[in-house]
């Protein structure tokens, strides 16, 4: 049975197999969650991202896609990078946002992760409403995990009380 939960906290300190990075398509670090993860992971993460860019994703990572790297100095074993849709650039299709969560779960299974922590992908600088992100994320994760048992824990790690409240509402029965 899978546990799906939401907590207030710092995704870089989570004791899980994989954390999800709300990355930019270049995979070379940035601001927000991406910058925090790169800062906490140290230079090994940037080198791992450069290897991905030099091999399988020469043109960058597409919106809604995901790829795994090692995690450097983080307590997690892997970082799964996903590129969320940017509402300010007209990327308003909820299916693109849902894909960030489902592709990240697929990649987690590929690397053998049993526990995964997600941020609120696209809820920050990319302009998506917190409640919408929470609803799309929770629905996508629940649908993806239905009838499967490879992943035991999905934790949404939120950096503000407002984001936590949005995810708690989405996770509530009938939410």
| Predicted confidence (pLDDT) per residue in 131-142, tens digit | 999 999 999 999
Answer whether 77's CB lies under 8 Å from 69's CB: no
pLDDT in tens, 19-73: 999 999 999 888 889 999 999 999 999 999 999 999 999 999 999 999 999 999 9
User: Annotated catalytic sites, by residue?
Assistant: 34
Whether residue 173 has pLDDT greater than 90: no
Q: Estimate the crossing angle of helix 32-41 against helix 43-54, to 10 degrees.
A: 110
DSSP line for 9-30: S-GGG--SSEEEEEE-TT-S--
Answer whether 127's CB lies under 8 Å from 88's CB: yes
CB crowding 132-145: b at 16 or more within 10 Å, else e: bbbbbbbebbeebb
Predicted pLDDT at 31 = 86
Closest CA to 7 of 114, 159, 148: 159
Whether residue 175 has pLDDT greater than 80: no
Per-domain residue ranges of the chain: 3-171
pLDDT in tens, 155-172: 999 999 999 999 999 999
Phi-psi region of 95 (alpha: psi -120 to 50; beta: other; left: phi over 0): alpha
**Confidence class for position 100, pLDDT limits 50, 70, 90:** very high
Q: What is the pTM of this model?
A: 0.96
Q: Which CATH number fits domain 3-171: 1.10.10.10, 3.20.20.70, 3.30.70.2860, 3.40.220.10?
A: 3.40.220.10
Predicted pLDDT at 133 = 98
Mean pLDDT of 8-15: 97
- Which has more pLDDT, 29 or 130? 130
């Amino acid at each position: 049975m899978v546990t799906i939960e939401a907590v207030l906290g710092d995704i870089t300190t989570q004791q899980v197999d994989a954390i999800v990075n709300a990355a930019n398509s270049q995979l070379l670090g940035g601001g927000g969650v991406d910058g925090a993860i790169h800062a906490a992971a140290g230079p090994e993460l940037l080198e791992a991202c450069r290897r991905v860019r030099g091999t399988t994703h020469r043109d960058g990572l597409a919106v809604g896609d995901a790829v795994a790297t090692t995690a450097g100095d983080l307590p997690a074993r892997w970082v799964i990078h996903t590129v969320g849709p940017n509402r300010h650039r007209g990327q308003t299709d909820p299916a693109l946002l849902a894909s960030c969560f489902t592709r990240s779960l697929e990649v987690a299974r590929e690397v053998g992760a049993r526990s995964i922590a997600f941020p609120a992908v696209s809820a920050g600088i990319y302009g998506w409403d917190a409640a919408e992100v929470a609803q799309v994320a929770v629905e996508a994760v629940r649908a993806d995990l239905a009838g499967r048992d490879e992943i035991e824990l999905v934790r949404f790690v939120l950096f503000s009380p407002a984001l936590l409240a949005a995810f708690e509402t989405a996770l509530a029965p009938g939410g």
